Structure 1
Amino acid sequence: MPHPIRVLAALSILFLAACATTRPPVRQPGDAVTLGLQEERERSLADTDHWTLEGRLSVASDKDSGSGSLSWRQDGDRYEFVVRGPVTGRTFRLTGGPAGAELEGLDGGTRRGPDAETLMAQTVGWQIPLAELKRWVLGLRADTGPADIAFGADRLPSRLVQDGWTVDYRQWDTVRQPAMPSRVFAERPPYKVRLSIESWSFGR
């Protein structure tokens, strides 16, 4: 059985920028203005499903923790997450799409599952909503159910609560338009994921 935190680091990509704006400790409930701006933002990014982010990932549970560099490439329905450990240099690679998911870099060889969510559950017992996460990391609400959203003084999302997860947006890159998250903390006890995004690139 592989060490759990190594798999968490490889699979928790679901969830720390040169031009980033420090987030104020403000969480204002959505009103007509901020919710309208968010709806406009979500319309402008609705078809954004070809992108790559580079950064750092830290994951923790009540039993263990770990961190590493992260490359996440989203290509429509297909994805590739690559995590490299800072000390060992060991690389974990999760790839998949509609036909299934594969995780490479574990002791004992490649693991496979029908999708990333099932593969994670089978490997470490986590239930990770990948479809939602690929929207949350863009600062968008997922279309899977109700979401409670709060905003900072800059009228950008500050906290998003959906599907049992609390997603805190600690920094945004406001030079890029539309602004993009650059520091994202996600938590559903006992699991915590911290993502520091150093760069975004869009397109095929």
Structure 2
Amino acid sequence: MMFSIARPLLLLAAGLALSACTSVGTQKAPPPDVAYTVSPAAERAEAARVQALRAQPDWEFQGRVAVSKGRNGGSGRIDWSQQGDAYQVQLSAPVTRQSWRLHGDAGGGAGRLEGLEGGPREGGDAHVLLLDATGWDIPVNQLPDWTRGLVLEGSDESGLQRDVDGRPRRLQQAGWDVQYLEWYPAGEGRQALPRRIEASSGDARVRLVIDQWGAQSP
């Protein structure tokens, strides 16, 4: 059954785990209903940020994730490693000692999920594979772009709203509504990157707090 693995995670209080997180050195985004005019300088800075991130195909992050779908949900750690189009995601719930490793390809969408009772599973769509096996509805094929505050490569920006710095604050793509609530500012040798993201699609909701980014180049 779809939620046979995920049900124990209901005890982890997903909402409380992420809503209380704060960090020094981050920038909170404005409310999504506020309209901003982006200056030409901000537009140029954002274009440079996007170009720099697109030029860095190998990166990683560590953080926390909370998911819900209807009355079911859970939370835990997420460790993401990206190499070109290929990604590897480690999802773990320390309280229940459950852990899964998902291998996927953002270009083709196919995936392999390890850590399941009965052995690994493979499927033509990593998102569907993860959802069917664990009940965790996470748009993994789009996250390589969305987690870095990028519009899906090859897509237009019709569903994009920007903040005063030109960065995304709300993005509607692929059936998901993605909001950027907090950012790590740019610093020496690193680009501005999201810290706190919320995404929803129908009754599915994903809340992500990124504690650490790695493998960036200027």
Other-structure match for 2:119: 109
Secondary structure of the residue that 2:54 maps to in structure 1?
A: coil
Which runs of 5 or more residues in structure 1 are unaligned? 10-15
Other-structure match for 1:28: 35
Aligned residues: 197
2:144 to 118, 125, 134: 134
CA contact under 8 A between 1:25 and 1:152: conserved in structure 2?
no
Percent pairwise identity: 32
User: Is 1:150 matched with 2:161?
Assistant: yes
Cα deviation for residue 173 of structure 1 reads 0.5
Runs of 4+ in 1 over 6 A off after TM superposition: 124-128
Q: Does 1 or 2 have the higher relative contact order (CA < 8 Å, sep 6+)? A: 1
Q: Give the aligned CA root-mean-square deviation in angstroms.
A: 3.0
CA contact under 8 A between 2:162 and 2:169: conserved in structure 1?
yes
What letter matches 1:38 in structure 2?
E
User: Is 1:197 matched with 2:203?
Assistant: no
1:129-160 Cα offsets, whole Å, 9 max, x none, are 54432111100111243332222344432111
Other-structure match for 1:56: 64
Other-structure match for 1:170: 181
Summarize the alignment of residues 91-110 of structure 1 with structure 2, pairs less than 5 Å apart.
91-97=99-105, 100-110=110-120
CA contact under 8 A between 1:30 and 1:149: conserved in structure 2?
no
CA contact under 8 A between 1:60 and 1:66: conserved in structure 2?
yes
TM-score (norm 1): 0.80
Cα deviation for residue 200 of structure 1 reads 0.2
Which runs of 5 or more residues in structure 2 are unaligned? 10-17
Other-structure match for 2:76: 68
**Greater share of strand:** 1
Query: Whole-Å Cα distance in 2 between the matches of residues 87 and 117 of structure 1?
Result: 24
CA contact under 8 A between 2:6 and 2:136: conserved in structure 1?
no
Residue 201 to residue 119, structure 1, CA distance change in 2 (3 Å): same
Moved more, 135-144 or 146-155: 146-155
2:91 to 57, 75, 83: 83
What letter matches 2:198 in structure 1?
F
Other-structure match for 1:3: 3
Residue 154 to residue 128, structure 1, CA distance change in 2 (3 Å): same
Other-structure match for 1:13: none
Query: Whole-Å Cα distance in 2 between the matches of residues 54 and 94 of structure 1?
Result: 15
CA contact under 8 A between 2:38 and 2:166: conserved in structure 1?
no
